[in-house]
Amino acid sequence: MLTCAVPRDLDALGRVVHVDQRVFGKNTLSRPAAAAIFIKRPEIYAALFDPDGAVVGYLDVYPLQPIWGERFIDGEICEADFMPNMILERSESHDGCCFYAGSIVVDDRFDPISKSMMIAGLFKWHAHYLAAMVTQQTRLIMTVASARGARLVEKIAASKLRDGRHRKDGLDIFGRPVTPAAIGQMHAAFSKLDIDGVIHLEFLHDSSVV
C-alpha cells in the first residue's frame, strides 16, 4: 500500500525536491527555499511513498498572499522565486488568496489506472486542508508544463488567466474560483476511483494544522 503524507523530515523533502528538479528543471524551487517553506507550512507538500519509503508521486499546493498571487499570475515571478514571506500564515484568512497547485508527478512505472488513483489520492489529501481553510471564495491556479497538467486543467474546468509569452517562466497559467461547494465537487470528481486499500491518507496531527 502507498502512503500519502507530508514528508517526515527534511531528508524526505529533499527526495521530493530532487525528483522535481529532475522533471521540471530550472522553474522549480531550490532545496533551501523548499525547506524554508516546508518548515513554515509543511502541509503544502503531500507525497506518495511506497512501503520502502521511496517517493513515487507528489503534489504541492501553496497558499500565496494575494499580492504575490497576482504577481505570479502576471508573470513577474515564477515558482523558483517563492520564499516563505510569500506564503500565508495559518492564522491569516485564506479567503481571496490564490492556492497555487504546483508540481504534480507520479512515477511512470505505474499503469494508467494506478496513476489516476495516485492523482486522486493526492487531490483528496489536499482537499482535506482546503475545505478547512476556505470559507468563502478564493482561487486555485496552476501552470501547465505537461500533457498531464493540461488534462487536469480540463478536468477542473479552469480558464486561462495569462499566456506564457507574457510570464517569466514561459508557461500558460490557468485558474478557477474555489468555494466550499467547489471543493466538494472536486473532491467528488476525484473520489470516483476507490483508493481504499491502495493509498492510505495520513494527515498531520499537529494541533495548529486542521
The secondary structure element, H or E, covering residue 5 is strand 2-5
At 157-170, the pLDDT tens digits run 899 999 999 999 99
Q: Tell me how far CA of residue 173 lies from CA of 55, 59, 71, 73, 170, in angstroms.
A: 27, 17, 12, 7, 9
Q: Which pLDDT tens digit goes with each residue over 30-67? A: 999 999 999 999 999 999 999 998 999 999 999 999 99
The answer to whether residue 208 scores a pLDDT higher than 60 is no
C-alpha to C-alpha distances, 90 to 103, 204, 209, nearest whole angstrom: 22, 14, 8
- Secondary structure element (H or E) that encloses residue 74, with its range: helix 66-74
Strand 199-201 versus strand 159-162 pairing type:
unpaired
Average pLDDT over residues 89-97: 90
pLDDT (tens digit, 9 = 90+) per residue, 109-140?
999 989 988 988 998 899 888 888 888 889 99
Sign of CA dihedral 63, 64, 66, 71: negative
Identify the structural domains of the chain with CATH numbers, from first to last.
2-201 (3.40.630.30)
What is the C-alpha to C-alpha distance for residues 4 and 200, in angstroms, rounded to an integer?
Answer: 6
Q: Which residue has the cell 511512470?
A: 108
Entry pTM: 0.90
